[in-house]
Amino acid sequence: MSLRPSVNGAQTTSETSYPTFEPHITLLSLPAESSVSTDALRSAAQKCKNLSVSFKSVDISDHFFRSVLVSIAPTQELWDMHSLVHGELKQEPRTPMYPHMSLCYITNEDAERGERQRFYNMLDDGGRIKSAGAGVALDCAPEGARKADWVSGFKVKEIWIAECNGPVDTWTILDKVQLR
């Protein structure tokens, strides 16, 4: 889903709001100076099994990396994966609001001008969020599409190892580990 508000009525003042990124659930976050190697990350990821996730709600948060997000229904499988990876790497969890999947990143300056709420309203008022069982579904069809593309979850089949230091557009995918 790559929805972004139109320029008309946008409250953005920062060029940093709305960077392009791959939707993801952050499983592990390490500081830039971490000594954990890519090999160790790969080894921990290879012990994980694929699983299905479902969308619980769409929420507005108070942080750039959690501006407007899909809260993922927290299952025992997800918590087990989270615990396994952190345990294997001997790391304390640093994953606020786990599990979630951010839809956009909006600076705090723009949020103070109401931009996070405006983005959420664009989805909700535009009919792109609907109830689905115990959670929600998002219409992920491109803007102007004739037919909706309702998504209420997905199968997690791989873990991406990424270096996410610096501006979002400089993030680098180091490896993709297929889950068993």
Q: Compute the mean pLDDT over every residue in the chain, rounded to the nearest whole number.
A: 93
Phi, psi of 80 (to 5 degrees): -65, -40
The pLDDT of residue 23: 93
pLDDT at residue number 15: 87
- 120-138 burial code (b ≥16 CB/10 A, e <16): bebbeeeebbeeeeebbbb
Among 103, 111, 106, 143, CA closest to 127: 143
In the structure encoding, which two tokens stand for residue 123, read together? 């989805």
Report the percent of the chain where pLDDT is more than 90: 89
* pLDDT (0 to 100) of residue 1: 55
- 59-105 per-position pLDDT tens digit: 999 999 999 999 999 999 999 999 999 999 999 999 999 999 999 99
Cα 162 to Cα 89, 127, 158, distances in angstroms: 16, 33, 13
Q: Which residue has the tokens 């499988």?
A: 77
Residue 167: other Cβ atoms inside 10 A: 8
Nearest CA to 52 among 157, 178, 155? Answer: 155
For domain 38-178, the CATH architecture is Alpha-Beta Complex (3.90)
At CA 27, angle to CA 21 and CA 172, rounded to 5? 40
Distance from C-alpha of 85 to C-alpha of 105, rounded to nearest angstrom: 26
pLDDT at 5 over 80: no
Parse the chain into domains and list their residue ranges. 38-178
Per-residue pLDDT tens over the stretch 19-30 = 999 999 999 999
Q: Whole-prediction pTM value?
A: 0.92
